[in-house]
Structures are given as structure tokens and as C-alpha cells.
Amino acid sequence: MFNKIYKQVFFKGLGVVMALFFAFAVSAQTKDDKYFSINKNLSVFNNVLRELNTYYVDTLDYEKLVGTGIYHMLSSLDPYTIYMPEEMNDDIKMMTSGEYAGIGALIMQKDGNTVISEPYEDMPAQKNDLRAGDIILEVDGVSTKGKTNAQVSEMLKGKNGTEVVIKIDRPNTKRPITKKFLRENIVFNPIIYYTVLDGNVGYLMLSDFTDKAALETKNAITDMIEKSKITSLVIDIRSNLGGIVDEAVAIMGYFVPKGTPIVFTKGRSKEADRIYRTPSEPIFPDMKIAVLVSRSSASASEILAGAMQDLDRGIVVGERTFGKGLVQSIRPVGYGGHVKITLAKYYTPSGRCVQALDYSHRNEDGSVGRVPDSLLTAFKTTNGRTVYDGGGVLPDTVTSDTRKMNVAYYIYAQNHYFDYATLYAQNNQKIESPENFKLTDKEFDDFVSYLLNEKKFTYTTQTETYYSQLIELAKLEGLDETAKEEFEALKVKLVPDVEKNIRDNRKEIEELLSVEIIRRYYYQKGPVRYMLKDDNELKVALELLKNEAKYNRILNKQ
């Protein structure tokens, strides 16, 4: 009996040892296979490059050639994993800190020219009377003709305190104008605008999560408390594309107890696995909160909105968010270059991931699909509400944008609002405050005349484009004559009556034109102030914040 038991234990133990040995062998083999594959492909790449260098018929641009290879390699992964060469170091600084040295203005390409699209308030461009609509002809004596936005942007940047000479062509001026001034460190405040609404409700618009987002948010809230005794707060992160995770965590820390888990990340490496907890005791523990989101709210914005929802700390109002649940890290790769790598997925306090697109399982044509509803998983908030993963953050109160892609969009796409606002600003020294500004009937009629007579504005709808394709297909199948009368009748319906469509859509056109005009006088804050007066999401948020019973019912408070 003893021998039998001994043999069982012995062979069972031997089996465990053999199983472990086999597992280690497979693991080692898998690891060796991985490194063999890496080395093999690197060797092939080097050999191809060497053969091209020796035998290719034309002179090679090696940086462009290898850069193209890196670009295509990374593009097969996800859109956030990118290579950033040395010349993009200023962009990296801008993304993380909101700082760079330059003139403080946005530029764009228009009709083959580099045009100032928006000077920032109290920054060198604006202080030295560079205006939206000015065409940049030269920077420090170097022509901008044929150069891209990125190239001109690099020309405008430089060390803090260095002189820059810019030659511009301003519409309706007889000769070019030369501006000479000093570059400065440009620091953007992530709080575009804050104010107090309806007595005791604070409002702030947070544009991004750079390294000063939490501090500036605290300063704005504190200022509104000291001056107006606010008891409720609207945090507007619509169209906020995200930024630094720690900043979103720090902002949540103003409202929830110290050490509260806000987000955790999971990746292939242990380095990527981390729990982010609030770093300090709450400063505003009793503040009622509404967070405004849109379909363009992404990444750190979704961390903030998702945590507010999961912890039942505030209500979320607006559209379903973008659905970016991926975390990136910027790592140096030598010679001044960096690679921004997606290294993990993030999960909100309830355990859900908001990532909407599955980049790891592409379709045969290379396209990426959304996570289907059938695969969504339910999670519970602190107070027992049900929330779901896989498709962004679904607000507690959902609103929708009912605007259609009508003539107002085509006017915008052809830059006619921008051009008219340039002329308007030249002819009007000042305007009413953004809250009180309104185009007169005469001014709107002038704009319509400008479109139809001066710009000869016309447009082709997407429906017309598809109609043309339908006709071509009908010809191939011999149906063009059979259904000729029907096709002709449909064509009449599709060709737009331009002036009628403009006047029928006056409200939306007037809104977009007013925003562009106001921007010329009140810069970045102006359009926000103008849009808030008829902001549907804000109205919903204010109503809920004022109605404590509704507010508590949404959060499932007993």
C-alpha cells in the first residue's frame, strides 16, 4: 500500500514538474520566436534599404523613405500611435503644457495663401494689430509662397524674446504692411471662459487637460465662490479632446474624498497597470455639479464625465461621448524623435471601458468596427444605477443636435463667413457685447447679396452627387430611358434654389456668421458668451441643478 501511494505521489509530482518544465519551455520558445521574428524583419528592412541605396535609379531621400515606412507601420495599429520627429518637439510641449514661443495666432491655408485665422487675445499677434484675414507674405524676409501651414508655423516660432518681422497683405489695403515685434512664451489658459449664471450657478468651459487644467479650474471655482457664493457648477467639456489623465483625476479630487479611485489602466506591460486615486482632500465637497459633453468629448474628458457618473457625484448632460478609452505615452526614440504609443486601456470607477472602436480586430478591408450592442456589458454606479461600456459615456440626460447639413454648412466650407467677417470688421470699429449682438435685417440682406452677387455662391449637395452616380449606373443597366421622366422630376427637386435656401435657413446662417464676426472683436471668449444665451444643453443642466428633487432622483439618492 505504501509503495502504491508513494508511486502515485511520485508520478503525480513528476507530472507537475514536467508540466512546469514544458510550460517554461513553451514560454521560452514563444519568447525566442518573438525576438527571432523581430530580428529577422529588422534584418530584412536593413537589407532592402541597403540594396536601394546601392542600385536604385534615382537619388533617395532617406529620412522621407524611412519616415514613410514608420508611418505605414504605425497606421496599421490605431490612429493615436504615431511617430513624432524632432521638429515636432514644440508640438509635444504644446500638447502637454499648452506652451510654446511664438506670436500667438492660428493660421490656415486659403486660396493658396497662408492666412491668419485667429489671433489670441493679449498675445503678440493681437497686441501688434495682426488681424484675422491678414495674408502672411514673408516671415523674416523669407517668402511663404508654396509653404505648408506646418512650415510657416515653424517660421513663426522661435525663442522667447527674439524679433520676428512679418510682411502681410491686408484686404482692401493698397500696399503690404510690415510688422516687427518680439516673440513671447505663449501660454494658453485651458479655461476659455467662466461666469456666474442665475445667481448661484457657476459655469466654466474647459478646453483641454494640459498640465495647468486642474489649477486653473480650482482658481475659477474659488473666484466664483468668493465673488458670487455659487452653490452649483456647470463644467463644460464639450469638444474637449482630452489630455493628461492626472489633470482629470486632480479635478475630480476637488469634489470627492482623498484616495478615491477615479480611473485605472490595464495594458500588456506591468508598467501600464495603474490605479489613479484623488491626491488631496476635497475643496468643494458639497457643490452640485452638471457636466456638459458632446460627441467630440474624448479621452480625459470621458474620464472626468465617467467618474462623475460612476461615483454618482454629478449629472452628465449632452450627447454620447466619442469613445476613446485608450491611453498614450510619449517615449523618446533617439535623435530628438519620439513615438506616442497606445500602451493601455482605461477603466472608470465602475470597471467599464468606454472605448468604442476595436482596432485590434480589423475587418478584411482594414476598416474598424464599433463594439456591437450585443457585446456591451452592464456595470453599476455607487448608488446602483446601470451604466454600460463600449460606446463612450451615455449622459444621464441625453440631448441631440437636430441641425442638418444644409446650405449653412456649404457657406462655412467655402470660407464665406470668414471673408465677410473680415470686411465687416474693417467697416465697423466696434459692436455690441456678445450677449447683445444681433445682425440687423439690412446686414443679413447685405450678406445674402455678398454671397450671390460678389461670390457667385453655389453648391452641390451630397444628394446631387449620389444622383449623378445613380444616372451613370442607370445608363450601364439600360434604365436611364425607361425611368427618364422620373429621373428628370427627381433632378428638379434636388437642384437647390440657392437664395430661397439661404433665407429659409436664416437662423443657423445668422448664428454662424455672428460667431465669426464676434470673434474679431472679443476673441476666444466672445463666441462662448454669444452661444450660451441659446444653449439647449446648458438650459437643461440649469433646470436640473435648480430642481433638487430631479437632481437627486437622477443620481438615485435616497
Q: How many CB atoms lie within 10 A of CB 365?
A: 5
Containing H/E element for 192? strand 191-197
Q: Is 552 exposed, middle or buried (0-12, 13-18, 19+ CB in 10 A)?
A: middle
d(CA 163, CA 184): 10
Can you read off the three cell numbers belonging to residue 234?
Answer: 456647470
d(CA 325, CA 356): 8
Containing H/E element for 551? helix 548-554
Q: Are 488 and 393 in contact (CB under 8 A)?
A: no
**Of the listed 117, 232, 294, 299, which one is catalytic?**
299
CA atoms within 13 A on the CB side of 536: 10
Residue 525 designated active-site: no
Can you read off the three cell numbers belonging to residue 107?
Answer: 493660421
d(CA 134, CA 125): 11
**Of the listed 78, 310, 389, 396, which one is catalytic?**
310
Listing DSSP states for 284-334 in one string gives STT-EEEEEE-TT--THHHHHHHHHHHTTSSEEEES------EEEEEEEEE
pLDDT of residue 88: 78
Q: Is 514 exposed, middle or buried (0-12, 13-18, 19+ CB in 10 A)?
A: buried
434 Cβ neighbours under 8 A, 6+ residues apart? 518, 522, 525, 526, 527, 529, 530
Residue 58 designated active-site: no
pLDDT of residue 202: 98
Q: Are 552 and 537 in contact (CB under 8 A)?
A: no
Query: Shortest CA distance to 529 belongs to which of 401, 409, 437, 440?
Result: 437
d(CA 20, CA 98): 52
467 Cβ neighbours under 8 A, 6+ residues apart? 490, 491, 494
Q: Are 164 and 103 in contact (CB under 8 A)?
A: yes
Query: Shortest CA distance to 101 belongs to which of 114, 89, 116?
Result: 89
d(CA 545, CA 252): 18
The partner residues of 203 in beta bridges, in order of sequence, read 195, 234
28 Cβ neighbours under 8 A, 6+ residues apart? none
Q: Are 21 and 29 in contact (CB under 8 A)?
A: no
Residue pLDDT, tens place only, 326-382: 998 889 988 888 999 999 999 999 999 999 888 877 776 667 777 777 778 999 999
pLDDT of residue 95: 67
Listing DSSP states for 481-492 in one string gives TTTHHHHHHHHH
Q: Are 281 and 257 in contact (CB under 8 A)?
A: yes
d(CA 323, CA 394): 10
Q: Is 507 exposed, middle or buried (0-12, 13-18, 19+ CB in 10 A)?
A: exposed
Question: Given the C-alpha cell 428628370, which residue does it identify?
Answer: 488
Q: Per-residue pLDDT tens, the chain, 558 aa: give them.
A: 434 433 443 334 444 434 444 444 545 556 678 888 889 999 999 999 999 999 999 999 988 898 899 999 998 899 999 998 887 777 777 666 667 889 999 999 999 999 999 999 999 999 999 999 999 999 999 999 999 998 999 899 988 999 999 999 999 899 999 999 999 999 889 999 999 998 799 999 999 999 899 999 999 999 999 999 999 999 999 999 999 999 999 999 999 999 999 999 999 888 889 999 999 999 999 999 999 999 999 999 999 999 999 999 999 999 999 999 999 888 998 888 899 999 999 999 999 999 988 887 777 666 777 777 777 899 999 999 999 998 899 999 998 877 777 899 999 999 999 999 999 999 999 999 999 999 999 999 999 999 999 999 999 888 888 888 998 998 988 888 888 888 888 888 888 889 999 999 999 999 999 999 999 999 999 999 999 999 999 999 999 999 999 999 999 986
141 Cβ neighbours under 8 A, 6+ residues apart? 165
Can you read off the three cell numbers belonging to residue 159?
Answer: 525663442
d(CA 441, CA 439): 7
Q: Are 41 and 34 in contact (CB under 8 A)?
A: no
Listing DSSP states for 526-546 in one string gives HHHHHHHTT-HHHHHHHHHHH
Query: Shortest CA distance to 116 belongs to which of 156, 58, 66, 76?
Result: 156
Residue 310 designated active-site: yes
pLDDT of residue 390: 84
**Of the listed 167, 212, 288, 324, which one is catalytic?**
324
Q: Are 129 and 179 in contact (CB under 8 A)?
A: yes
Q: Is 64 exposed, middle or buried (0-12, 13-18, 19+ CB in 10 A)?
A: exposed
